[in-house]
Amino acid sequence: MKNVVSALTARTQLGQIIKRTSKNNERFVVEHRGEPSVIIMSVKDYINTIAPTPDWLKDIGSEAKRKGLNKVSMRQIDAEIAAARRERRQRIKVNPPAK
């Protein structure tokens, strides 16, 4: 890997390293006392390589976009949450949990 930096360089040039990782998806190996210690990478790069989105979740997202459900406002989301909580409270009043 060509982007190997010492811990001192990483500490003094952290802002520049962050810019490069965010903008160019570069990765940096940080060495501490000559040994590779950590890797600095962007969150987007991490998600794509280490924790990729499962296919079933991609399918749900595509279906939501087709139906226009990806354009729900925060107000609409809050209203849905409030309605679900009201419904749950009413169910609990009618059928209280056993003790």
Tell me the pLDDT tens digit for each residue of 20-73. 999 999 999 999 999 999 999 999 999 889 889 899 999 999 998 998 888 888
Is pLDDT of 1 > 70?
Answer: no
Contact between residue 42 and residue 25 where contact means Cβ atoms under 8 Å apart: yes
Q: Tell me the mean pLDDT in the region 71-93.
A: 91
- Residue 38, in any domain of the structure: yes
Contact between residue 17 and residue 24 where contact means Cβ atoms under 8 Å apart: no
pTM: 0.56
Predicted local distance difference test score (pLDDT) of residue 56: 95
Domain that holds residue 80: 55-94
Q: How far apart are CA 19 and CA 73, in angstroms?
A: 31
- Residue 99, in any domain of the structure: no
44 and 64, same domain (yes or no): no
Q: What is the CATH number of the domain that holds 19?
A: 3.40.1620.10
39 and 70, same domain (yes or no): no
Q: How far apart are CA 74 and CA 82, in angstroms?
A: 12
40 and 11, same domain (yes or no): yes
Q: How far apart are CA 34 and CA 5, in angstroms?
A: 10
